């Protein structure tokens, strides 16, 4: 083609990135990689290898070790051996290592970018300009946290040995998201890269050697899902951090339930991309290109559900189709390519299957005219319109360049549609009205909201999901907290079994028709006293065995009623922080007025000394959370773009609380007050040992301005009530204090809808010590951070 002809056609010619250096790197390793354990390259014990392919051609790039049980064990042992020394290093020394890694990533940035593109299929433009710079940024940022660790995280300590499992869509970036905070907090790690994309993790292992990182601090064990499973189940791992599918996340929750491993999960999404009629439509379409066609749509936070205001739908669809027609699909090493190859044949098959299913469900499929490369795994940009909100393509993650479009009429309907998903990872809102955008942003159940922008990430801004998109955050201060524990908590002794009453079988319970001996209380649901559905009650004894009274035996129906009441009390979450603070202060004031009668009653169960301390400290505890209610209030980040990111500490929602048996009043207040302070509603199961405290508590709550249903109290046996609470889809989180068996069942039973579970890990928490019994730690677990990104400037 002549230059004159090129001017007319304006067609791009091929501009391939040279893979020479990366191929030389592969050749230097003989195209065969072992495992990186204890600072050395080790052959897998079973001698097994698998191939990693270039998805743009289908050709084999290298043979990769399949790590087995012996290898995982060797890696965990190496990480454990290195843990003490690494943790004991001065923060400044750890900061220097992370800084060195950041510098090395920059020095080798082109090699890493090309390797990433070859292994994953993503356009070089993205790996070069987005993935690798963000990797470096993450390491720099966390070098900073390492430096400041002692001052900024006083009272915390690292988890210990961390097992990390990552997916294939952002191989090196996910590695950095996991390794940087873990090391900054003083942990050592065993990381398993995804089987489709192990190469950049292995290159990173070399950088660790080059940086002189002490042996065993970072270990890389390649392999498939079974390797990941072995790592998850290894008894000497203290924490698991996982990014990947919700299905595997659920399996990991189940597999770790009976252990005390800390867990963070970053799972799937079906993120809404909402465009209002007053949006700048051309910008919104560009945002959409980033939202769904970035990385072939293989992005957990992809804006895969387009929600358009009805009045602009037709115009918008036209603009989207026009823009889609200009997207260039082809070999990802070509610098002028927008959409590269799908990571693997199985993923391509999955996309094709799901799109066919969407069409069978009634959607209209549109794809621009284009010729796909004859080799490799490619899929064209795809628009599904007329999608019904219940269709598989509106509900399930496709993880491909496929957009499912729907319409709405009002902002309210937009929010309803947006939240009509089990996920809650990210969302986009496009409107020129800041009022509309922020109002909608506040109502979206998602960890990230991008206003008039899409798919922006920064190490300083936490990223992570609500609901079945997982829990925990990566990035920001909140991301650091995932890799540490409060020392006082961690070293608390095991809770003695004798501290907890054992529930007698139901048949042995006393019927309510038995005359009350001293005191009978009811349940407290929706701000009213309620009779139990079962018509049974449980005897409550004094320390000397004397029968003190009876408490209702709540059952499944009572729990359901309580959850319904809690859901309806959402006004509490919308109240201002000042208002919540005032209500709590008044609660403390009223408790103080009842001091003597409460001490007298409690004394019979826990003795006079403890009773007096519980009431005195109880008043103080409520004061503390009243004080925090209007001070635990998030941050504004300044990411390196023309944006601010508003990090809001949002209530989790409705929380089921199993209160400690051994400290009836103070234990209840220590758990319920922080949850209320930040706007959650609660269903509490009070101390099994002294459930009669409920009577005092509802008298207390009745005298303050707490909306009915903000706190509900269902007495009964924790182990029995826990099941209904854990299995209820409208309960968002569980706080459970009890012995090992109880907390394990709280975790195991919450796998269904992936509730956040916070427990005492079977430890005896000293509720009388304010350093353990109250603090930001509780508030951090009572909230989830939502980052709302807002651009500025023209
Ligand atoms: P996956 O969840 O199976 O794989 C992610 C990682 O987990 C890989 O390293 C894998 O080896 C490991 N793994 C698999 N089974 C495991 C187990 N039982 N225990 C511990 N580790 C295990 O995801 P996959 O199969 O690669 O992709 C399937 C679908 O998952 C995709 O189509 C997509 O919808 C979704 N996905 C979501 C991601 C996200 O970032 N949210 C990332 C990757 C996939």
pLDDT digits (tens, 9 = 90+) for 279-294: 999 999 999 999 999 9
Find the 242 Cα to ligand 1 centroid distance in Å. 9
Is the beta carbon of 222 within 6 A of some atom in ligand 1?
no
Find the 454 Cα to ligand 1 centroid distance in Å. 24
Find the 536 Cα to ligand 1 centroid distance in Å. 47
The answer, yes or no, to whether residue 697 has pLDDT greater than 70, is yes
Mean pLDDT of 45-64: 98
Nearest-CA residue for ligand 1 atom 15 is 225
CA distances from 190 to 162, 201, 205, 259 (A): 6, 12, 11, 18
Place of tokens 């790996």: 127
> Which residues have a Cβ under 8 Å from the Cβ of 84 and sit 6 or more positions away?
none
Nearest-CA residue for ligand 1 atom 22 is 225
461 vs 480: CA distance, rounded Å? 11
761: which DSSP letter?
A: T
Mean pLDDT of 195-199: 98
Nearest-CA residue for ligand 1 atom 10 is 225
606: left (phi over 0), alpha (psi -120 to 50) or beta: alpha
Ligand 1 pocket test: which of 244, 396, 457 has the largest number of ligand atoms within 8 Å of its C-beta?
Answer: 244
Nearest-CA residue for ligand 1 atom 9 is 194
Nearest atom, ligand 1, residue 267 CA: 41
Ordered DSSP codes for 515-576: PPSSEE--EEETTEEE--SS-EEEEEE-TTS-EEEEEE---HHHHHHHHHHHHHTTHHHHS-
461 vs 647: CA distance, rounded Å? 8
Ligand 1 pocket test: which of 67, 172, 248 has the largest number of ligand atoms within 8 Å of its C-beta?
Answer: 248
Find the 246 Cα to ligand 1 centroid distance in Å. 8
The pLDDT confidence band at residue 515, using thresholds 50, 70 and 90, is very low
Find the 11 Cα to ligand 1 centroid distance in Å. 38
Is the beta carbon of 67 within 6 A of some atom in ligand 1?
no
CA distances from 486 to 158, 164, 657, 774, 780 (A): 9, 21, 20, 12, 12
633 vs 730: CA distance, rounded Å? 25
CA atoms in the 13 A half-sphere facing the CB of 363:
27
CA distances from 454 to 244, 254, 274, 301, 438 (A): 21, 34, 11, 10, 15
The answer, yes or no, to whether residue 713 has pLDDT greater than 50, is yes
Q: What are the DSSP E strand ranges found in 267-395?
A: 272-275, 305-309, 364-366, 382-385
The answer, yes or no, to whether residue 164 has pLDDT greater than 60, is yes
Is the beta carbon of 251 within 6 A of some atom in ligand 1?
yes
Ordered DSSP codes for 233-262: H-TT--EEEEES-HHHHHHHHHHHTTS--E
Nearest-CA residue for ligand 1 atom 30 is 245
Is the beta carbon of 398 within 6 A of some atom in ligand 1?
no
Find the 555 Cα to ligand 1 centroid distance in Å. 38
- Span 60-118, pLDDT tens digits: 999 999 999 999 999 999 999 999 999 999 999 999 999 999 999 999 999 999 999 99
Is the beta carbon of 268 within 6 A of some atom in ligand 1?
yes
The pLDDT confidence band at residue 603, using thresholds 50, 70 and 90, is very high
The answer, yes or no, to whether residue 22 has pLDDT greater than 70, is yes
Per-residue model confidence (pLDDT) at position 518: 58
Nearest atom, ligand 1, residue 168 CA: 43
The answer, yes or no, to whether residue 506 has pLDDT greater than 70, is no
The residues annotated as belonging to the active site are 266, 300
Mean pLDDT of 203-212: 98
Nearest-CA residue for ligand 1 atom 25 is 245
Is the beta carbon of 228 within 6 A of some atom in ligand 1?
yes
Mean pLDDT of 680-701: 95
Nearest atom, ligand 1, residue 223 CA: 11
The answer, yes or no, to whether residue 501 has pLDDT greater than 50, is no
Per-residue model confidence (pLDDT) at position 10: 75
Mean pLDDT of 637-658: 95
Per-residue model confidence (pLDDT) at position 499: 53
Find the 243 Cα to ligand 1 centroid distance in Å. 7
Find the 169 Cα to ligand 1 centroid distance in Å. 10
Nearest atom, ligand 1, residue 396 CA: 34
The answer, yes or no, to whether residue 692 has pLDDT greater than 50, is yes
Per-residue model confidence (pLDDT) at position 753: 86
- Span 300-353, pLDDT tens digits: 999 999 999 999 999 999 999 999 999 999 999 999 999 999 999 999 999 999
Nearest to 264 by CA among 475, 515, 45, 491: 475
137: which DSSP letter?
A: H
CA distances from 467 to 36, 265, 268, 456, 737 (A): 35, 11, 10, 21, 22
Is the beta carbon of 285 within 6 A of some atom in ligand 1?
no
Nearest-CA residue for ligand 1 atom 8 is 194
Is the beta carbon of 458 within 6 A of some atom in ligand 1?
no
Nearest-CA residue for ligand 1 atom 16 is 225
Mean pLDDT of 476-501: 86
129: which DSSP letter?
A: I
The pLDDT confidence band at residue 520, using thresholds 50, 70 and 90, is confident
CA atoms in the 13 A half-sphere facing the CB of 790:
18
Find the 268 Cα to ligand 1 centroid distance in Å. 9
Find the 244 Cα to ligand 1 centroid distance in Å. 4
- Between 85-99, 292-306, 515-529, 776-790, the lowest mean confidence (pLDDT) is in 515-529
Per-residue model confidence (pLDDT) at position 508: 43
Is the beta carbon of 267 within 6 A of some atom in ligand 1?
yes
265 vs 253: CA distance, rounded Å? 9
Residue 438, SS3 per DSSP: helix
158: which DSSP letter?
A: E
396, 350 in Cβ contact below 8 A? no
The pLDDT confidence band at residue 503, using thresholds 50, 70 and 90, is very low
Is the beta carbon of 195 within 6 A of some atom in ligand 1?
yes
Is the beta carbon of 221 within 6 A of some atom in ligand 1?
no
Is the beta carbon of 354 within 6 A of some atom in ligand 1?
no
Token output for 788: 């709302």
The answer, yes or no, to whether residue 20 has pLDDT greater than 80, is yes
Ligand 1 pocket test: which of 120, 225, 300, 301 has the largest number of ligand atoms within 8 Å of its C-beta?
Answer: 225
> Which residues have a Cβ under 8 Å from the Cβ of 533 and sit 6 or more positions away?
554, 555, 557, 558
Mean confidence (pLDDT) of the chain: 95
Find the 626 Cα to ligand 1 centroid distance in Å. 42
The answer, yes or no, to whether residue 500 has pLDDT greater than 80, is no
3-state secondary structure 638-704: CCCCCEEEEEEEEECCEEEEECCCCCHHHHHHHHHHHHHHCCCEEEEECCCCCCCHHHHHHHHHHCC
Is the beta carbon of 194 within 6 A of some atom in ligand 1?
yes
Is the beta carbon of 343 within 6 A of some atom in ligand 1?
no
Ligand 1 pocket test: which of 122, 167, 261 has the largest number of ligand atoms within 8 Å of its C-beta?
Answer: 167
> Which residues have a Cβ under 8 Å from the Cβ of 27 and sit 6 or more positions away?
none
Find the 170 Cα to ligand 1 centroid distance in Å. 12
Is the beta carbon of 254 within 6 A of some atom in ligand 1?
no
Nearest-CA residue for ligand 1 atom 43 is 244
Is the beta carbon of 167 within 6 A of some atom in ligand 1?
yes
Mean pLDDT of 234-238: 98
> Which residues have a Cβ under 8 Å from the Cβ of 551 and sit 6 or more positions away?
520, 521, 537, 538, 540, 691, 692, 694, 715, 716
How big is the CA angle at 787 (ends 761 and 177), to the nearest 5 degrees?
65
Is the beta carbon of 399 within 6 A of some atom in ligand 1?
yes
Per-residue model confidence (pLDDT) at position 511: 45
Is the beta carbon of 350 within 6 A of some atom in ligand 1?
yes
Per-residue model confidence (pLDDT) at position 502: 42
Rounded to two decimals, what is the model's pTM? 0.95
Token output for 375: 């080799």
Token output for 697: 């508590």
Burial classification of residue 579, based on how many CB atoms lie within 10 Å of its CB (0-12 exposed, 13-18 middle, 19 or more buried): middle
């Amino acid at each position: 083609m002549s230059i004159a002809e090129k001017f007319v056609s304006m067609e791009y010619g091929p501009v391939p990135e040279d893979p020479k250096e990366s191929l030389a790197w592969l050749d230097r390793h003989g195209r065969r990689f072992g495992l990186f354990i204890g600072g050395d390259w080790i052959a897998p014990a079973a001698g097994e290898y698998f191939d990693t392919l270039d998805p743009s051609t289908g050709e084999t790039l290298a043979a990769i070790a399949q790590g087995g049980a012996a290898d995982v064990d060797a890696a965990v042992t190496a990480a454990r051996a290195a843990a003490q020394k690494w943790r004991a290093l001065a923060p400044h020394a750890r900061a220097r290592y992370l800084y060195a890694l950041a510098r090395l990533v920059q020095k080798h940035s082109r090699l890493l970018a090309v390797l990433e593109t070859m292994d994953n299929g993503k356009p070089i433009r993205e790996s070069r300009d987005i993935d690798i710079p963000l990797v470096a940024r993450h390491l720099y940022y966390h070098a900073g946290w390492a430096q400041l660790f002692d001052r900024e995280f006083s009272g915390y300590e690292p988890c210990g040995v961390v097992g990390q499992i990552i997916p294939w869509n952002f191989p090196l970036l996910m590695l950095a998201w996991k390794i940087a905070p873990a090391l900054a907090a003083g942990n050592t790690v065993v990381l398993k890269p995804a089987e489709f994309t192990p190469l950049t993790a292995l290159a990173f292992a070399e950088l660790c050697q080059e940086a002189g990182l002490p042996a065993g601090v970072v270990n890389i064990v390649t392999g498939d899902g079974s390797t990941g499973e072995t790592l998850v189940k290894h008894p000497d791992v203290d924490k698991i951090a996982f990014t990947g599918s919700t299905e595997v996340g659920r399996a990991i929750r189940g597999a770790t339930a009976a252990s005390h491993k800390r867990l963070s999960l970053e799972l799937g999404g079906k993120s809404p991309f909402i465009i209002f009629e007053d949006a700048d439509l051309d910008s919104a379409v560009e945002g959409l290109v980033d939202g769904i066609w970035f990385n072939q749509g293989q992005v957990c936070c992809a804006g895969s559900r387009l929600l358009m205001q009805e009045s602009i739908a037709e115009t918008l669809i036209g603009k989207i189709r026009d823009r889609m027609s200009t997207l260039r699909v082809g070999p990802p090493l070509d610098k002028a390519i927008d959409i590269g190859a799908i990571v693997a044949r199985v993923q391509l098959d999955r996309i094709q299957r799901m799109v066919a299913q969407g069409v069978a469900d009634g959607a209209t499929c549109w794809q621009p005219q284009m010729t796909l490369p004859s080799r490799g795994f490619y899929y064209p940009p795809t628009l599904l319109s007329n999608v019904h909100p219940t269709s598989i393509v509106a509900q399930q993650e496709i993880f491909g360049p496929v957009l499912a479009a729907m319409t709405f009429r009002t902002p309210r309907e937009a929010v309803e549609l947006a939240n009509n998903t089990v996920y809650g990872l990210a969302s986009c809102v496009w409107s020129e009205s800041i009022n509309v955008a922020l109002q909608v942003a506040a109502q979206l159940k998602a960890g990230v909201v991008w206003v008039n922008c899409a798919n922006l990430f920064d190490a300083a801004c936490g990223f992570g999901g609500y609901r079945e998109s997982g829990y925990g955050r990566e990035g920001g201060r909140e991301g650091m907290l995932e890799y540490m524990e409060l020392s006082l908590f961690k070293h608390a002794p095991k809770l003695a079994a004798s501290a907890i009453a054992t529930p007698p079988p139901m048949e042995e319970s006393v019927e309510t028709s038995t005359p009350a001996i001293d005191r009978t209380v009811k349940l407290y649901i929706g701000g009213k006293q309620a009779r139990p559905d079962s018509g049974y009650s449980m005897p409550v004894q004094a320390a000397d065995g004397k029968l003190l009274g009876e408490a209702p035996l709540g059952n499944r129906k009572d729990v359901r009623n309580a959850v319904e009441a809690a859901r309806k009390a959402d006004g509490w979450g919308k109240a201002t922080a000042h208002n919540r603070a005032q209500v709590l202060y008044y609660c403390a004031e009223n408790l103080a007025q009842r001091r003597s009668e409460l001490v007298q009653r409690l004394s019979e169960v826990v003795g006079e000394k403890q009773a007096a301390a519980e009431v005195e400290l109880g008043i103080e505890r409520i004061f503390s959370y009243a004080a925090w209610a209007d001070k635990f209030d998030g941050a504004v980040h300044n990411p390196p773009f023309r944006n601010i990111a508003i990090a809001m500490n949002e209530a989790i929602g409705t929380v089921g609380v199993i209160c400690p048996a051994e400290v009836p009043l103070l234990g209840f207040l220590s758990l319920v007050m922080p949850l209320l302070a930040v706007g959650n509603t609660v269903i509490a199961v009070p101390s099994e040992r002294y459930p009669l405290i409920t009577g005092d508590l509802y008298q207390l709550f009745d005298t303050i301005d707490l909306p009915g249903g903000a706190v509900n109290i269902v007495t009964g046996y924790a182990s029995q009530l826990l099941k209904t609470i854990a299995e209820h889809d409208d309960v968002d989180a569980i706080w459970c204090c009890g012995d090992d068996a109880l907390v394990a069942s709280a975790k195991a039973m919450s796998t269904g809808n992936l509730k956040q579970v916070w427990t005492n890990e079977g430890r005896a928490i000293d509720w009388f010590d304010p350093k353990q019994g109250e603090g930001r730690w509780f508030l951090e677990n009572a909230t989830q951070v939502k980052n709302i990104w807002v651009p500025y400037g023209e």
